[in-house]
Homo-oligomer: A and B are copies of this chain.
Amino acid sequence: MKTFVYLVLLIVCSCMAAGAAVAGIPVAHPNIVLTTRDAALIRASLGRYPLFDAQYNELKSSVDKAIAQPIDVPIPVDAAGYTHGRHKQNYKDMYGAGLLYSITGEARYASFVRTMLLRYAMVYPTLGNHPAGNGPAPGRLFWQTLNEAVWLVNVAQAYDCVYEWIPAHERATIESQLLRPMATFFSVDHARELDRIHNHGTWTAAAVGMLGYAMRDQSLVDLALYGTRKDKTGGFFRQLDLLFSPDGFYLEGPYYMRYAMEPFYLFAQAVENNQPELHIFEYRDRLLKKAVYCGIQLTTSSGQFFPINDALKEKTYETPEFVIALDMAFRQYGADPALLGIARRQKSVMISGAGLTIARALSASGSAVMFPYASVEFTDGPDGERGGIGILRSGINEDQETLLMKYAGHGKEHGHFDALTFVFYDQNRDIVQDYGAARFLNVEQKFGGRYLPETQSYARQTIAHNTVTVDERSQHDANQDAADEHSAVRHFFSTEDPAFQIMSAVDSGSTSGVWMQRTMAMVTDTRLRKPVVIDIVRIVSAAEHQYDLPFYYLGQLIGTNVSLKAHDTEQHPMGTSNGYQHLWNEAEGTASGTVRISWLAGARYYSLLSAADSNTTVYCTRIGANDPNFNLRHDPGVMLRTHGPTATFASVLEPHGVWDGTMEISEDAYPNMTGVRVAASTSEGTVVDITGKGGLHWVMMVTHRAASATARHTIAAHDTVYTWTGNAALKK
């Protein structure tokens, strides 16, 4: 029965997609994203699909309200205040009114767009650079060209919708005073932006290209597709080539991927509608399809994008830009029922043919299929050879342990110096967190809603991450260009054995003369309620260094076996630069044997057990020093510090027990694991001995040689000879 429903859907979808543009038939406006045919379909479908109707009514009520108000096209003043918000609202209103005109045919919507465009045509020629512009690419309506490109992506569509309604002489005014100057501004004044291999570049290319289609100006379209030199050294195709790995992973990371999906998909649809012979949706082996699926896998099972690089943690797949991508992928690439579960949680669809398609599928499907979150690796780099991201998962979506390790490329301007960092989630919450970026989006009091200085001084620095900082200096000394040249290297990634999922990567260029390999495994054992994480970092250098490995746990510290000296009557920062100046030293102690730190988060306990010797100092830190404007979250951390030319950090992270304050339940507040010891660590491999209650005894072995499934390894340590075949083994 279900199969039948999906079959029908598939057929309907294919027809709708195929119907969009057929070579040889002259196309009428609109035909960028919304087509005349889709508009007619929508008109005929209103009242039938609840989610689409709800969205449509919301749009209509918002546009009707806008139309009833006087139009305001203010002279730009601020970066997050009234004028910023007004120009943003204006493009949303024009876009909405354009759609409504195409669907309903009511002239008042077209008239609204026309009048506002004429107002912009009066104001735009008088504008110089935005007064609050402070970067290399100031806009005119907005403080940066990015927002201006977003404006145009929306307005090009609005213009396309009402094009035929506007008298030719007014179109001439609008184009000559507003749209063409704006196209010139982007493609000449800011040619660098359009050609740039960056999300800003794609927004700019999409804006110019979509405007080109709206104005039937193929020359503008070609600039957008092939770059300002029209030779494919910039522009949309180049961006498709270089911004994504063959797996669909986006160079800047999940946060900007989410944002870039909107112009990639919208412009691709415009290309498909107008130049179907380019087969844009098939490009690079259906790259755009892979990108959407990759994007979803790069969220926690509750939908939060992993906060890799500059990222705001409140962003989920419910953001409007990802709704667009999902709806269009669903229609374009076959109606995959796995996407419907996401769509249902988005509670929102595009007002477009794609939105209609998915809303119809949603109303036809009963219970949604859950998206199959999986353990998966994504390579980075155009050829997939710039490291990647490894994700290990265990458990149902509602309560999933998720472990991510980053060994991807740096990620350009928004990159963090954090090779071999990790994040760990459980209970749909951060257990060992990545800070994300220091930014309060759109909050005017916080530096106009832009990135705060603490993004650079703290959030991007190595010490802000759950990876090793060498000698209190960030990787590449926080030099972006150097970092972009480099990436960590995947060693191996294996999820063949669901009870012993494992990934490993090597970084040998982030700090000159220091080689390190991190191996992380997710291990299931019937004696334990939940899988545990094993974490082994081996560091090799010829020279003496200080190695700091922090774990930014979230929760309340409930116990440790480290005898801590608390700095609780006078507190100082951990250092003076490279992010250390932002960490208070709350307490420190010397460890010996196995360090145990336990905390409580939500309904569960977590313990970190780390092998330590008398060389190891444990610090309890808190973010928030040197933060005069209260820009940082004052979150805790624990840091292991050791010294040596070589060092090995070996840890187990164990979720355990249950805590329920309402019902007064506390079980297994102590971890099952009791001991972690590095039995051997040589250039051949590392052996870690793990003991727990009830006679639990594991030996984890990992190679430091080249990856090979068949190589046999032998390490002799004291009285024991350890042997294993392949990259890693766990002896229970």
Q: Identify the A interface with B (CB < 8 A).
A: 80, 85, 312, 314-316, 318-320, 440-446, 449, 556-559, 564, 566, 568-573, 581, 584, 586-587, 598, 600, 620, 622, 624-628, 630, 633-634, 636, 659, 661-667, 669-670
Contact = CB atoms under 8 A, between A and B. Distances in A.
B569 A449 contact: no
A636 B634 CA distance: 9
A221 B27 CA distance: 92
Contacts of A666: 80, 441-444, 449
Contact of A570 (B320, B571, B628): B571
Contacts of A620: 630
20 contacts: A314-B661, A314-B662, A319-B663, A319-B664, A440-B556, A440-B600, A441-B664, A442-B665, A443-B600, A443-B669, A444-B666, A445-B559, A445-B669, A449-B666, A556-B630, A558-B630, A568-B624, A568-B626, A570-B572, A622-B624
Given A441-B661, A571-B625, 10 more contacts: A80-B666, A314-B662, A319-B662, A319-B663, A442-B664, A443-B600, A446-B559, A569-B625, A571-B571, A587-B628
A442 B670 CA distance: 12
Which 6 A-B pairs rank lowest in CB-CB distance, beginning with the nearest?
A314-B661, A445-B559, A442-B666, A566-B628, A557-B630, A571-B571
Nearest to A558: B445
A634 B571 CA distance: 14
Contact of A558 (B312, B446, B570, B659): B446
A445 B598 contact: yes
A442 B658 CA distance: 11
A730 to B, nearest CB: 29
Given A444-B669, A445-B598, A571-B584, A312 B661 contact: yes
A585 B636 CA distance: 18
A443 B659 contact: yes
Contacts of A446: 558-559
A123 B397 CA distance: 47
B568 A627 contact: yes
Contact of A628 (B80, B445, B568, B663): B568
A449 B564 CA distance: 21
Contact of A573 (B569, B572, B573, B598): B569
A569 B569 contact: no
A557 B628 CA distance: 11
A622 B571 CA distance: 13
A568 B625 contact: yes
A443 B320 CA distance: 43
A633 B445 contact: no
Contacts of A586: 624
B320 A663 contact: yes
B314 A443 contact: no
Nearest to A632: B556
A583 to B, nearest CB: 12
Contacts of A449: 666
Contacts of A584: 571
Contacts of A312: 661
A600 B443 CA distance: 9
Nearest to A441: B661
A620 B628 CA distance: 11
Contacts of A665: 442
Nearest to A622: B634
Nearest to A439: B661
A626 B556 contact: no
A577 to B, nearest CB: 12
